[in-house]
Each structure stands twice: as structure tokens, then as C-alpha cells.
Amino acid sequence: MEDAKHFINNRWVAPSVNETIPVVDPSDGQIFAMIARGTAADIDRAVAAARTAFDGAWGQTSAAERGRILARLSMLIATCHEEIAQLEARDTGKPLKQARADATGIARYFEFYAGAADKLHGETLPYQTGFTVLTIREPHGVTGHIVPWNYPLQIFGRSVGAALATGNACVVKPAEDACLSLLRIAELAAEAGLPEGALNIVTGYGHEAGAALARHPGIDHISFTGSPATGAAVTKMAADNHVPVTLELGGKSPQIVFADADFDAALPVLVAAIVQNAGQTCSAGSRVLIERLSQAFSALKVGPSALDLDCGPLISAKQRRVWDFLSDAQHDSIPMAEHGEVISDAPESGFYQAPTLLRDVPPTHRLAREEVFGPVSPPCRSMTKPTAQTRQQHGLRPRRRHLNARWRAANAACASRALGAGVHQ
């Protein structure tokens, strides 16, 4: 893998402008690599390469052969599992056990889509005598993929993997904060036999390379994972070219534990759901309706990714926006129930935030309504004796001991609707 270059047409390509972006290790705040600062010209080159592949070798490849290539890629990723995991851990700051799980996940994604490649069928529809009515599934063509920094491997696997399996040629713009693992995957894809131009990666800033990709007239479909605000901007850019967009945005996922639950069994799951990846997960369990979390939070340890503790650092200094939420909590006299510990020998230059458990967060407060994207859990008031008001706010029902009532409660509190959280539908 070469520093400060894009991956286009199965080879490393120098950027159109000789400018770079430093890659910072979140564990110590130190620069350890450089990536190219992509421009609209680089996106043009990648889209042209993808179009040539789609109109040529890749577009003429059979579904069965596409599956074989993706299966080989899956096996190559599995072979390089530890290398990829180490790269992901250093780039994102997540503990090694989480990075290893992500490396396992992307291998499984490509294995799954390899098997699905030749099993996507159209339908024939009954109609009037003398007519044949059918549907045919076809690839979009050239697809653009804007991948976030919190789970580069996993999002790439399920977005790009599906697109390649169905015959699309892909242009990927990964997040500038974490993209090294994806560049390595692109190398492996070429080794697996993916034709030139079928997969292209342009690094750079979102407002430059990302925006150029979203508004490019040569793109036939856009996949975006990120914040609701940026997702809205991407949708507007794509709309100018009448290009469909698939969005995966933020969330405010609830965790509901009823009074007759096994609390000892539930607690580790509840804690892991908010501290995994330092809380930087769109499906993080960031709204909790339960008591007895304090002891579990006080035992959490935070440190460099290589130490493989409970929680690693935030991705970058920009992500210290988490502190704004905690500052609001202090300003509004919301008590802190407990917090974890950043180990004493963690580098001071790292981007660490101790997991924090708040108490008595009003349902109308921004902590209960907005995505913190950090290891902060703002439990709503206890469900032990719910009032009519709390039932209405959290979608609870009086018959909460019945399974169907619990399904209704969970449905009413789902991340896509509850408390105004903005996520994909």
C-alpha cells in the first residue's frame, strides 16, 4: 500500500494536486501516515475508470464469475485478517477485539454476497392471454459510496460488496479520518481478479472529493453513511442529476429492560451497547430505561487501542463535540451517576473520553433526543413505576408483562421515530 495515492484501475495513482492529509492515531494523537487530498479531477478519473469497466470487462462478467471473484476476495481478507485488524485499530482507535470483529465481518460480507451473486432473480407476472410480463433485475451502473470513519470495514463490506455482486462498478470515497484498511482491501480485490476499474478509491475531504462524487453526472446511484445533516446535503446534490440515494444516518436507539428481567444478564449487554467503539455507533444503545447501571460503568477502563481495554479513544479532536453534551448536562444540573476511568498511562495527546452515566435526564433534553456519538449514556427516568406521562413519552403500555405489550413498547420507542431522532427508514 502506497502513501498519498488513490487506487484507480487496480493500481496506485498520484493525485491531480500534490496535497496530502495527515493520518492521526487517535490513541496518541501522532501522525503515522499520509493520504492523498482528492479533488473533483480525481473523482472524474475514477468515475471514467468505473464506466469503462461497467461498459466492458466487468459488465460482461457473468453473475457466477462475479461470485467466484468475491469468494476469492473473502478468502484473501481472511488470510490477512490480523494485518487488516491491526490497521483498522490504529486508524480508528478502537480496541483490537473490536477491530478483529470488523475484519471478520467484512470477510463474511463478501462471502455472503459471493453466494448471492447468481441468485438474484426477476419475476414473471400473470397477465392477459397473449402477453408476457416480467421483471428483470439489472445493475445501476456506476455507483458512488461515501463510507464513514467509525466502521470503515463493515460499511464497505455491506455497501460495496452488494454493489459488486450485482454487477455495478464502484467509486468509493472513504472518510479522511479512517480509510487505510479500505485501501488495503482494494489491493486484495485486484489480487482476487476484480477487473480494472470495477473498484476505485479516492481519498480526501468530504466537502471536496465527497461532494464531487455526490454531484457527479456520471454516477447512477449513491450510498451514504453518516450524519443526518450531511445525508441531506448529499441527497440534494444527487437530486440535481435525478440519482437515487441510499442513506444510513444517525440514531438514538432505546434499550428497554422490564421489571421481571434478569438484570445480571442484561447489564453487560446494556453497557457494551453504549461503550462499543467509544460510543461512536449509529445503533448505540444511547437511551436506557433501567436502573442499576452505575457499578458496571465504574469498572470500565479506557486506553490505547493496542491494550484492548473496554473502550478506546474517540476518532479525532473534532469528535470532542461529546464534551459539549456533557457541558450542557452540567449547566442544566443533570447529575452524573458514575463514570469509567482513562488509565493513567494513556498518552495525554490521545482523544480519550471516559464512559459517563448520567441520571434523571428529562425526556425533552437534547441528551435524550440527539445522537451524542460518544460513550455517554443518558438513562431516562426509571420504568419501575411508570406514570401515564412516561408511558406516553416512551411508548409504554400498562400490560407490560405480556409479550405483545413489550413488542408494542419496543416499536413505539424505536430509533427511527422516538423522541425526534433522525435516522434512516
**413 pLDDT tier (thresholds 50, 70, 90):** low
**Positive/negative CA dihedral, 360, 362, 365, 370:** positive
- Average pLDDT, stretch 23-30? 94
C-alpha cell of 307? 491494550
The DSSP letter of residue 360 is -
Determine the CATH number of domain 254-420.
Answer: 3.40.309.10
The yes-or-no verdict on residue 408 having pLDDT over 70 is no
Q: How far is CA 198 from CA 8, 49, 50, 55, 392, in A?
A: 9, 8, 6, 10, 51
Of 194-198, 281-285, 347-351, the poorest mean pLDDT is in 281-285
**Positive/negative CA dihedral, 58, 59, 65, 66:** positive
Is the whole-model pTM more than 0.85? no
The yes-or-no verdict on residue 425 having pLDDT over 70 is no
The one catalytic residue among 282, 311, 341, 371: 282
Of 99-113, 153-167, 295-309, the poorest mean pLDDT is in 295-309
- Average pLDDT, stretch 183-187? 98
- The pLDDT value given to residue 55: 98
Beta strands in 96-213 (DSSP E): 123-125, 133-135, 142-147, 169-174, 199-201
The yes-or-no verdict on residue 424 having pLDDT over 50 is no
- The pLDDT value given to residue 323: 85
For the stretch 112-123, what's the b/e string if a residue is b when 16 or more beta carbons lie within 10 angstroms of its beta carbon? bbbebbeeeeee
Label residue 314 exposed, middle or buried (CB < 10 Å: 0-12, 13-18, 19+).
Answer: buried
**CATH topology agreement for domains 6-248 and 254-420:** no
- Sequence ranges of the domains in the chain: 6-248, 254-420
Residue 331 DSSP SS3 = helix
Q: In what order do the strands lie in the sheet with 356-358?
A: 336-339, 356-358, 376-377
**290 pLDDT tier (thresholds 50, 70, 90):** low
The one catalytic residue among 176, 248, 338, 341: 248
Look up 248 and say whether it is catalytic.
yes
**268 pLDDT tier (thresholds 50, 70, 90):** confident
Determine the CATH number of domain 6-248.
Answer: 3.40.605.10
The yes-or-no verdict on residue 144 having pLDDT over 70 is yes
